[in-house]
């Protein structure tokens, strides 16, 4: 009898582990995208992290020869459309009355420029810098995950302007498009993706939401 029970226990542990391994990986898509009016109301109340991927860039360029973050000539940079998109999005965010406190930016030129075009300022921070995509469980972007999970005070929102790979690595697929933002609700030890807004999607909030 003891042998049979032991065999059942081992089988249960094995199948439990196998079941866990077959579960879908984490996704950065929101479970329920809120309406424009609800999303705007939530953002005006604050308490969120807004993670922007930098605006549109020239993929004919790369960072292989870069020696310093200030060497913009040896990096992939914004194109004119990306700059125009960032300016328009920044103007829309201001018009919508969304409160923004700190603006953290990866020290690459394209992320700093995006932050400055969006919000007029950028606080360069190594903890949100770019890098390769890594497998789940890696601690390469542990500091970024901590930032996304740390509660933000009511009445303000924290902005992070970074890259596609870091967010993909900590939040899961699919990738953010260039200029797209993920609205993140910090949960203390983890975070939740509440919404995603394309670079040209702020107009939807302006047209579909009540005036402040």
Tokens representing 147 are 């930032």
Range of weakest confidence among 7-16, 27-36, 74-83, 100-109: 7-16
> Which pLDDT score is estimated for 74?
93
Q: Does residue 6 carry a pLDDT above 60?
A: no
Q: If you search the block for the tokens 């509440």, which residue do you land on?
A: 194
| Number of residues in the chain | 212
Query: CA of 25: how far to CAs of 33, 106, 129, 180, in Å?
Result: 19, 26, 24, 22
Query: CA of 50: how far to CAs of 4, 24, 162, in Å?
Result: 54, 25, 11
Q: If you search the block for the tokens 């391994």, which residue do you land on?
A: 21
Report the predicted TM-score, pTM, of the whole model to 2 decimal places: 0.86
Query: CA of 114: how far to CAs of 16, 107, 133, 161, in Å?
Result: 46, 11, 21, 7
* Cα–Cα–Cα angle for 43, 48, 53, rounded to 5 degrees: 95
24 pLDDT band (50/70/90 cuts)?
low
> Which pLDDT score is estimated for 203?
85
pLDDT mean over 63-70: 90
Query: pLDDT (tens digit, 9 = 90+) per residue, 107-164?
Result: 999 999 999 999 999 999 999 999 989 987 789 999 999 999 999 999 999 999 999 9
Yes or no: say if 79 and 56 are a contact pair by the CB < 8 Å rule.
Answer: yes
Tokens representing 90 are 């920044």
Backbone φ and ψ for 80, nearest 5 degrees, come out as -60, -40
């Amino acid at each position: 009898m003891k042998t049979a029970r032991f065999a059942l226990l081992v089988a249960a542990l094995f199948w439990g582990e196998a079941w866990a391994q077959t579960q879908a990986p984490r996704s950065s898509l929101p479970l329920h995208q809120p309406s424009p009016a609800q999303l705007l109301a939530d953002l005006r109340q604050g308490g969120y992290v807004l993670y922007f991927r930098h605006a549109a860039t020239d993929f004919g360029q790369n960072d292989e020869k870069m020696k310093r973050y200030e060497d913009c000539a040896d990096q992939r940079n914004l194109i004119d459309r990306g700059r125009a998109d960032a300016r328009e999005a920044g103007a829309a965010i201001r018009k919508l009355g969304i409160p923004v406190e700190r603006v953290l930016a990866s020290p690459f030129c394209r992320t700093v420029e995006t932050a400055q075009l969006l919000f007029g300022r950028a606080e360069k921070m190594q903890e949100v810098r770019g890098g390769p995509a890594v497998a789940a469980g890696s601690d390469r972007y542990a500091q970024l995950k901590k930032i996304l999970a740390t509660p933000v005070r009511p009445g303000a929102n924290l902005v992070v302007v970074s890259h596609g790979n870091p967010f993909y690595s900590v939040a899961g697929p699919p990738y953010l498009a260039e200029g797209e933002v993920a609205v993140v609700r910090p949960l203390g030890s983890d975070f939740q993706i509440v919404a995603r807004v394309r670079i040209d999607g702020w107009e939807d909030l302006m047209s579909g939401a009540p005036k402040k």
